[in-house]
A and B are shown apart, each in its own frame.
Chain A
Amino acid sequence: MSPSKKDDMLYIGIDLGTSRSVVSASNGNRKWVESYVGWPKDFVAKKMFGKRVLFGSEALEHRLALNLSRPLQNGVLKEGTEQDGAAVEELIGHLIGMADVDADREVCVAVGVPAEALKVNKIAIKNAIANHAKKLMVVSEPFSVAYGLGALDNSMIIDIGAGTVDFCIMHGTVPLEEDQRSLLMAGDYVDKQLLKMLSEKHPEADFSLNMVRRMKEKHGFVGASKRRVKIEAPVDGIFTEFDITEEMRKACESPMPAIVETTIGLIAGFDPEFQENVRNNIIVAGGGSQISGLDTYLTESTKQFEPCTFTCISDPLYAGADGALELANDMPGEFLEKL
């Protein structure tokens, strides 16, 4: 008889993202934090905050007094710096803490990480989690999304994150290297493009990367615009209105040719018998999937090649963590015993 699962075990799914990290636990807790970790620079800062380490927006807000780390910049752990390894460990600990774990309760954690990080930093990430949970699994973010959606066979997941766009074809098993691709033209790239265009067009206005990121998250769109995008930015200290519709469209569309090309290329390498099934089952996830008009734009763009159908998921923020939670929950006891 195979070992049964412990009733008192708490299952936790984590989506460790470049921009945001999310936790979803079997006790119903679902929370997220911006992926920033900061340590007070000196004893004055330590006294002021009364904390050893700060996370998310709080860390970002007080960044001048902190040694700040965004550990998964560009979708991988910035190797070689101890601070980034420590930041992942702190972030995982913080996320597990956000799930309200009882001290005496055993924890099983499944963590989804950017596909590139899984390839490059798997051991480092496992080590970082191992200090917080005895039972752990690390999978790629697109895979955890696919698992949560039940899209396990003949489907493609495109996870548009901040650091990378991860592509993954599912065919009933953990995706192999040739089933996956990553592009670096993701959310951060769009932000940089937008900042560049706005700074060139309106040199008199002060735009920052954080400002344009927020503008993109609120007004980002591709294809035809239904309404004008108007924002306010300071000019010599006075807030002035700017119409940035065209710049927003251009910036958001800038990674699209590469996304279309990679999608077509990846499907072309798949078993020809199943290519049509995959083409009709492309799921777009990640923060980038919230860009207005994205599914229609991508579907239209592929018409000139082999037509594909793209669908954006409804809850991109929690999809990865929920999928990881389901994975941890479903893992048979006989396997959990040995993990």
Chain B
Amino acid sequence: MSRQSKIKKQVLRSVYEDNAGIQRTGLGKRQPRAMETEHRTASRSMTILIVLLGITALTGINFRLIKVDSSGPVAMQMDDRQFQQYLNNPLFWASSHEGDNVSSDLDPFHVSVDDENSLVHYEDMIAGLGVPMAELFSLKVRTIVIDPGHGGIDPGATGRQGLMEKDVALDIAKKLQDKLEKTGNYRVILTREEDKKVYLKERVAFAKDIRADLFISIHINSLPEEAADLNYVETYYFGPHTDKRSLELAQKENHDSDFAMGDFREIIAKIGDTLKTEESRDLANAIHRRLYSGLRSHNNELIDAGTKTGPYMVLLGVEVPSVLVEISCISNIAEETRLSKPRYRDSVAAFLKTGIVEYLEHRGNRRSIIGGRAEYVAKQER
């Protein structure tokens, strides 16, 4: 049989196995690499979570997972043999009330059963993972939604020279879309592409419909007349307000949201979404760092108001990492003049893009679970 025929036969078998859902074994030249193994590890972790939830639901017994070694993410530092033993370990699957305070080298999570306290302590388990949840489950970002604030009959803030927040936000959003699309890695979609009114509820529904992975809302700040000489940049992700002004600003941006109380109750239940909060915080920090340092080169007096949490409806409703950027203050005349210039708006978009890309790249480069595990195993072998 010629080499080409052999290869063809091998390929046909792989296509068959791939389509019949059969696990391939050693057909390829190379063994599955880190990415596949990482997915498997994430699946195992997910299985553990599901099994725990199932046992909790069926037996009414609540598990508390406590990290034995507080120095690091020990649970992630096991080789396959240890992992299997760990899964097989009856202590892990303890279903009686006798398992309190058990620990062993093979049992990096301590499992305790708590029937007095009816609360499920999953937060302990999540905290004990020691890695961001997005990495744990290998979640990837493909679709980015840019949300230019206001629009149509709602101009947002208006500068003293007549420049309107809705127009500046839209132009920066379009420029940002263009820059992100040029990387070739992301689908970037705007919640509005023209000067029209879009209710906050519609913006949230849109992000859900197109399965957004990241949501970035763009706004321009405005201060009362007595503070019109000030100019600052601040970036928000969802959380309780940190000061009175943050609350006032959120009230302003939430105005006319078109959310009913029923919607509000439903979305308020999502507060405490660990994955969204930690990723939103990281995204806000990355964007803010770049935006402030970039804008500072245009304006020495720019104030860094920092990254904050605020009760923005649009951030709460969206189910993925989301931030609201208040780029600068249109109430400051010099800043309004700068914002009216296309080149300045292009620079703003470039700073935002750099921050977003840095967040995404940093996210990919963070030491993954499997990376940590491999490093640990290598250390043990040395």
Residues of A within 8 A of B (CB): 74, 78-81, 136-139, 147, 150, 152-153, 171-174, 176-178, 183-185, 189, 254-255, 258, 262, 271, 327, 330-332, 335, 338-339
Chain A contacts of B185 at CB under 8 A?
183-184
Chain A contacts of B35 at CB under 8 A?
177-178
Q: Chain A residue with minimal CB distance to B33?
A: A178
Question: Measured between alpha carbons, how far is A172 from B3 in the docked complex, in Å?
Answer: 10
Chain B, residues 43-66, CB within 8 Å of chain A (1/0): the string is 000000000000000000000000
Most buried by A among B20, B182, B209: B182
Contact A331-B15, Cβ < 8 Å, known A172-B29, A177-B36, A338-B20: yes
Chain A contacts of B366 at CB under 8 A?
none
Judged by a CB distance under 8 angstroms, whether B88 is at the interface is no
- Please, could you name 12 A-B residue pairs with CB atoms under 8 Å apart, sorted by A? A172-B10, A172-B29, A174-B15, A176-B32, A176-B33, A177-B36, A183-B185, A184-B187, A189-B181, A255-B184, A330-B8, A335-B20
Chain B contacts of A332 at CB under 8 A?
12
Shortest distance between the CB of B139 and any CB in chain A (Å): 13
Chain B contacts of A183 at CB under 8 A?
184-185
**What's the A-B contact tally at a CB cutoff of 8 Å?**
85
Question: Measured between alpha carbons, how far is A78 from B33 in the docked complex, in Å?
Answer: 29
Most buried by B among A74, A153, A173: A173
Judged by a CB distance under 8 angstroms, whether B377 is at the interface is no
Chain B contacts of A172 at CB under 8 A?
7, 10-11, 28-29
Judged by a CB distance under 8 angstroms, whether B18 is at the interface is yes
Chain B contacts of A185 at CB under 8 A?
181-182, 184
**Of B4, B8, B36, B181, the contact of A184 (CB 8 Å cutoff):** B181
Chain A contacts of B30 at CB under 8 A?
171, 176, 271
Contact A79-B12, Cβ < 8 Å, known A178-B33, A184-B185: no
Shortest distance between the CB of A180 and any CB in chain B (Å): 11
**Of B8, B11, B19, B209, the contact of A339 (CB 8 Å cutoff):** B19
Shortest distance between the CB of B103 and any CB in chain A (Å): 37
Shortest distance between the CB of B17 and any CB in chain A (Å): 8
Shortest distance between the CB of A322 and any CB in chain B (Å): 16
Not counting A137-B19, A172-B29, A189-B181, a sample of 5 additional A-B residue pairs whose C-beta atoms are within 8 angstroms of each other reads: A81-B209, A173-B10, A173-B28, A178-B35, A183-B185
